[in-house]
Each structure stands twice: as C-alpha cells, then as structure tokens.
Amino acid sequence: MSVSMIPAMPRKPTKGYFVRGHFVAAGSELDQELKRELKGDVELSKTDLKKHSDHLQALGEQLLDLRAGLRKKLDLPERLLEAVDEARRISNFEGRRRQMQYIGKLMRKLDESTVAAIEAALQEQHQGSAQDTLRLHRAEHWRDRLVAEDTALTEWLEAHPATDPQHLRTLIRQARKDATAKEVPGEAPRHGKSYREIFQLVQAALKAAEAAANPDLDSSPDSASTTPQEP
C-alpha cells in the first residue's frame, strides 16, 4: 500500500528589515536595541556605569595632587573643594577612605563639561611634569659638558647670551679643581659646590628660555615645588 506524499507547507517568511546589508528580525534583541537608539533612550550597561563611576572616583583622588594654579582655573563646586581640602588633612586610613568615597559621590554630580575641564587640567599637569623631567636631563647634560669640554662654554653662551660668562667660567674652573682634588683611584669623581651651582644656573636658564618661548606656561609659585631637583 503506497502512502500518499503530503506536500510540505511553505514556511511563513520572517518579518523584519535590512540594516547596512544585514537582516534584522522583528522583535529580536537587535531590533529592540535599534529602536531604543532611534528614540535616544539607550541605557548604559551596569558594566559601563561601573567603569564611569570608577573613572570619576579616580579623577577625584587626583584632585588632591592638582596644583593650586590649575585648580583655580576650574569652576568647581564649593562642597567639592572643601571635601578635597579635608581629605588632604586626614591621615587616618579609614577616615581618608570614607572621605574619598564622599568625593567620588560629589564627582558623579558634576556635568560633563566640568569633568572634561578636570581631565584637561590633570593632563596639563602631567605634561608639565614630563617637561620638568626633560629639563632636568638637559641641565645635567649641559653641566657635564661644560665641566668636561672647553668648546661647550662657547656653545652655551651662543644659545643663552644672557648668561654671565665670567661667573660661569669661574664655576667651571672651580668644579674642575674640586673633581681633581677629590679624585680617588677606582672611584667616581666627587663633586663640590661649584658643580651643583653650574647645574642650578643651567637649569634656571633653560626654564627661562622655555617661559619666553611659551608665555602661557603655568608660572604659579606652587608649580616651582614640583620641579625635579638634581639627584
């Protein structure tokens, strides 16, 4: 007995639409996400919210080390400024931890423009620190050349004509004498006061040249304390 074959019913086509060449089924998760985007009510995931909160917390902690000159440029709420000042005074670990949580809470109330201004100020301070470190290395390089090479003095005076040549020559001669007098076989040369004064003179001249080239550099008194010193 033969069994008659029942023809298969055609599948009902899935409703949907194409976006950038990809089919999006109606009612699918992607469909719902696209509709939320169109309405402008896309919500951040819990992970994104946690990352954003942690970022604001970290910015609040960095405010404690922000130079006063840069902080004055920011239009920060009085409560946040007071909280930052209070955190600086707290030495107890638990008390400081709670205060930092409070600062993080205040940070989360700031608008995007204020947060962006804080980020820019912190970046400016970071760049300033890098510039100070670079100047330190340049000053060390020039100091060592001035003491070791006779031609270095001519090069330095050409680049920095405001330098008192007689004073610098005197320091170089004394630095060379000190190194020779204190020289111990098998040990690195010991340097005296003149050697350190050459470094200070060179570093000050380099900083003055940078300020002349860029008048917008932060020259507030508190910025001087962050300048790296000779090791």
- Adjacent-strand bridge partners of 23: 18
Distance CA 72, CA 148 (A): 45
∠ CA 82-95-111, nearest 5°, is 40
Token duo for residue 47: 């992970």
Task: Just give the CATH number of 131-224.
Answer: 1.10.60.30
Task: Give the per-residue pLDDT at 85.
Answer: 93
* Sequential pLDDT tens for the chain (231 residues): 454 555 555 555 567 666 655 666 777 766 666 666 665 554 556 777 788 888 888 899 999 989 888 888 888 999 999 999 999 999 899 999 999 999 999 998 888 888 889 988 888 888 777 788 888 999 999 999 999 999 999 999 999 999 999 999 999 999 998 887 665 555 655 678 999 999 999 999 998 988 887 765 554 434 444 444 554
What does the pLDDT look like over 25-83, one tens digit per residue?
777 766 666 666 665 554 556 777 788 888 888 899 999 989 888 888 888 999 999 99
Per-residue model confidence (pLDDT) at position 130: 77
Which pTM value belongs to this model?
0.46
Residue 222: the pLDDT is: 46
Does residue 111 sit in helix, strand or coil?
A: coil
Q: From the CB of residue 100, how many other CB atoms can be counted at a distance below 10 Å?
A: 19
Other C-beta atoms within 10 Å of 71: how many? 16
CB 224 within 8 A of CB 67: no
Supply the pLDDT for residue 78: 93
Q: Do domains 46-110 and 131-224 have the same CATH topology?
A: yes
Q: Which residue has the tokens 């962050």?
A: 226
Q: Can you read off the two tokens belonging to residue 172?
A: 């170089």
Helix H or strand E encompassing 16? strand 16-19
pLDDT score of 22: 64
CA-to-CA distance for 21 and 30, rounded, in angstroms? Answer: 14
**What tokens were used for 157?**
């005076």
Fold of 46-110: Diphtheria Toxin Repressor; domain 2 (1.10.60)
Rounded to 10 deg, the angle between the 165-181 and 112-148 helix axes is: 70
Residue-range domain boundaries for the chain = 46-110, 131-224
Task: Tell me how far apart the alpha carbons of residues 196 and 222 are, in angstroms, rounded to a whole number.
Answer: 23
